Structure 1
Amino acid sequence: MVNPNDYFDEFNVSVHGITEAMVSSAPAWSEIHERIKSNYSNLIVASHTPFDRTAIRRACEKNGSEPFECQWLDTARVVRHTWLEFSKSGYGLSNLSKHFGISFKHHDAEEGARIAGEILLLAIQESKLNAFEWCSRSLKSSATEKYYIALEVNPDGPLFGNVVVFTGTLSIPRQEAAKIATFSGCEVGVGVTKHTSLLVVGDQDIRALAGAEKSTKHRKAEELIVKGQAIRIIGESDFERLIKI
């Protein structure tokens, strides 16, 4: 606990559950700053959304303390990039704890830290990327990914429930192919994941595979198939026929 030496707003208390009485005898930020700085400098510090990063920066500014250098990892962004169903919404800790069956006492700072840690471990297990790799990876959505997310999936489409990924040279622009796919009921992914059910390969690439290197997406899909994942790898023309059927 830290005494902010400031007034307590009821709204803030409703969010984090910390009352003025709970911190009346707690040390001020200036008293614990050096200990926190020595403990966390040059390490990865994970927090769910940038709130904690901003709060610490503002506490340092208010008290004239030197900010400590660490590598921040936003677990909310990790979640949004790991699980397609949370890319737009539902990535709050309360909802995630229910989804993954983790007990969670809401409005409790220590519980929030524990849940964020458990969710990060699940994301590392799912994505096969460790914390260092997540930090080095750009977590900002690419223009292509934002475009795919913005497309509305047709629930009445013949391929509803599938997650499709395109690779290779297509006969039409990739964004146009994505539109057709979502109209047919597919969600469109940027890369091959455990959620992918269809990989559509450009016809030119299919014809050239006898003596050419397969794309990274193609190889990853084949690896997942060997492990038991149900992914269909088809050519672009086969995909068109499938949609018509």
Structure 2
Amino acid sequence: MLDFSPIASAFTVAYDWTSLASSSRRGKKYPKVHVLELSKCYQREGKRGQIGYRSYFSIFTPMLMSQRFVAIDFETANADLASICQVGIATFQDGELIETWESLINPLDYFDWFNVEVHGIDEYDVVDAPTFPQVASEILRRIENRVVVSHTSFDRTALYQAMVRHKLAEVPCQWLDTARVVRRAWGQWSHRGYGLTNVCRELGIVFNAHNALEDARAAGEVLLQAFRATGLGLEEWIIRARQPINPEANEPIAREGNPEGVLFGHEIVFTGALVVTRREAAVLAAESGCTVAGDVRKTTTLLVVGDQDIDKLAGNDKSSKHRKAEKLISKGQKIRILKEGDFLHIAGLES
């Protein structure tokens, strides 16, 4: 019999950081909360059937169980994912947006011009903003023991990296990647075109891209449309998103490369959590000419690194394949380490 321990009771609180008045030239918002409702929830630790990984998740009251989730998005000051400069959180319940919260964050870090061009936030906008440790408790209060939705694993990794940087404890919650949902819910986006902007345009979801709260809201609305399009609910999508796009595709990842491919002569290995499935990455690599192997060895020439699956790193910053590749490189073996996005660009999947 499962041992459930109550960790919170229902309450409502009003909250307003009036002391953090914005000096932003663009009128960006600092933390402001109108009403926060926490239902009674429970925590369980252990394996979840066929998924088989250590996780925490909530069991809500019957009214909330199937459809309550929190969508989150972060913007960063530079390529370091820990340099969070904006957070947006949108809470959905029973198919409706019921609450939003957003804040600028002073990352105590430099702003790269590329990132500023993307989201429009610079060092002047955050000069009076709270730091990440100052807003961490508010983020925690909203996502702890909830189903947390984000589009791609960027936001999950950013939160983890920020927590590590500031020596804060990891947040127990259940993540659901809406990019993986989109690729399984709609066939036209199974291999490409599943970026948030493109998907929202096709689904008729209007939002202001690269604003954290707007991106979070849009990801949540995409998930609601996936519910309606497929008939699957939140719990079903948590399971389905971790399965292959084609659930019956169980063939081995190893394969020979196309002699006419642009990368013919290379042997490639994948590590980390990829946006595409491992099998799809293998097919794409083989079509591009690579011999695909399951592990790093003396014949490996390319290692593609996705966002690391935090649950599988066993306390390390890099996967065992990544560490093995670096060890071989130090001994003189020529191995090029690529990010997944760079590999997809070379292979022609992304422009």
1:42 & 1:107 partners in 2: Cα distance? 26
Say if 1:111 and 1:11 are closer, same or farther in 2 by CA, change over 3 A: same
Which amino acid is the alignment partner of residue 121 of structure 1? L
Runs of 5+ in structure 2 lacking a partner? 1-103, 252-351
Runs of 5+ in structure 1 lacking a partner? 148-245
Query: 2:224 aligned with 1:121, yes or no?
Result: yes
Query: 2:179 aligned with 1:76, yes or no?
Result: yes
1:14 alignment partner in structure 2: 117
Which amino acid is the alignment partner of residue 5 of structure 1? L
TM superposition shift of 1:144: 4.2
Instruction: Select 1:28's aligned residue among 122, 131, 139.
Output: 131
Q: What's the secondary structure of 1:23's corresponding residue?
A: coil
TM-score scaled by length of structure 1 = 0.56
1:74 & 1:111 partners in 2: Cα distance? 17
1:14 & 1:140 partners in 2: Cα distance? 36
Query: 2:140 aligned with 1:50, yes or no?
Result: no
Q: What's the secondary structure of 1:25's corresponding residue?
A: coil
Q: 1:194-209, aligned counterparts within 5 Å?
A: none
TM superposition shift of 1:145: 4.1
Query: 2:207 aligned with 1:104, yes or no?
Result: yes
2:123 & 2:224 partners in 1: Cα distance? 33
TM superposition shift of 1:8: 0.6
Give per-residue Cα distances to partners, 1:37-58, cap 9 Å, x unaligned.
1221110010000001000000
Which amino acid is the alignment partner of residue 226 of structure 2? A
Between Structure 1 and Structure 2, which shows a larger proportion of helix residues? 1
Which amino acid is the alignment partner of residue 242 of structure 2? L
Q: What's the secondary structure of 1:22's corresponding residue?
A: coil
Between Structure 1 and Structure 2, which shows a larger proportion of strand residues? 2
TM superposition shift of 1:20: 1.7
Give per-residue Cα distances to partners, 1:61-120, cap 9 Å, x unaligned.
111111111101000000000000000011111111221122222222222111111111
Q: What's the secondary structure of 2:191's corresponding residue?
A: coil
Say if 1:146 and 1:96 are closer, same or farther in 2 by CA, change over 3 A: farther
Give per-residue Cα distances to partners, 1:151-192, cap 9 Å, x unaligned.
xxxxxxxxxxxxxxxxxxxxxxxxxxxxxxxxxxxxxxxxxx
Over alpha carbons, which structure has the higher Rg? 1
1:23 & 1:146 partners in 2: Cα distance? 49
Q: What's the secondary structure of 1:46's corresponding residue?
A: strand
Q: What's the secondary structure of 1:20's corresponding residue?
A: coil
Q: 1:202-217, aligned counterparts within 5 Å?
A: none
2:189 alignment partner in structure 1: 86
**What is the aligned length?**
147
1:59 alignment partner in structure 2: 162
Q: 1:153-232, aligned counterparts within 5 Å?
A: none
1:54 & 1:77 partners in 2: Cα distance? 16
Instruction: Select 2:233's aligned residue among 107, 130, 146.
Output: 130
TM superposition shift of 1:140: 3.5
Say if 1:38 and 1:108 are closer, same or farther in 2 by CA, change over 3 A: closer
Q: What is the percent sequence identity of the aligned residues?
A: 44
Q: What's the secondary structure of 2:109's corresponding residue?
A: coil
TM superposition shift of 1:30: 0.9
